[in-house]
Amino acid sequence: MRLIFSDLMLGMLLGTLDQAIVATALPAITGDLHGLNHIGWLGAAYLLAVAVVMPIYEKIGDLFGRKPVFQFAIVVFLIGSAASGLAHSLDELIAFRVVQGVGAGGLIIGAQAIIGDVVSPRERGRYRD
């Protein structure tokens, strides 16, 4: 049980830590890419993608199983992260942040769904959030 929870926490840490790092580095990033007029889209694109894909991941997880969907979300998130690091313009960076958001949405909802599968309803209150 501890292994499952540590793996889920590491997966969720990816998405959470990424947003915190980007928020801190946002002024430097937009300055280097000369895109202060699009600064709001860096965070909004990520969060919008997360919100849109969560129900989709949940349905796909119900159909194909939680583990492969969670692993797919990790891969998508890492691809988006690597591509974001290689972005040459702010438009590219925004597009790659959307890819990251698609992966992060799967990480967040996947972890919650896996906890729901592993922990009995009586015990779930101890493992929330």
Check which CATH number belongs to the domain holding 28 and give it.
1.20.1250.20
**Residue 128 reports pLDDT greater than 70:** no
pLDDT band at residue 68 under the 50/70/90 scheme? very high
How crowded is residue 52: how many other Cβ atoms within 10 Å of its Cβ?
A: 13
Domain hosting residue 65, numbered range:
2-126
pTM for the full model? Answer: 0.86
Instruction: Name the residue with higher pLDDT: 114 or 36.
Output: 114
Closest CA to 104 of 68, 129, 79: 79
Cα distances (angstroms) measured from residue 90 to each of 41, 51, 85, 125, 129 = 9, 22, 11, 42, 33
Model confidence at 37: pLDDT above 70: yes
Query: Which residues touch 34 (CB under 8 Å, ≥6 apart)?
Result: 90
Total domain count for the chain?
1
Extract the tokens encoding 67: 């583990």
Question: What confidence category does residue 59 fall into, taking pLDDT thresholds of 50, 70 and 90?
Answer: very high
| 26-53 mean pLDDT | 84
Task: Using a pLDDT cut of 70, give the percent of the chain over it.
Answer: 98
**Average pLDDT score over residue span 64-71:** 94
Higher pLDDT, 105 or 23: 105
Which carries the bigger pLDDT value, residue 76 or residue 117? 76
pLDDT, mean of residues 83-99:
91
Residue 33's CB is within 10 A of a number of other CB atoms, namely: 17
Apex CA 71: angle with CA 108 and CA 101, to 5°?
Answer: 45
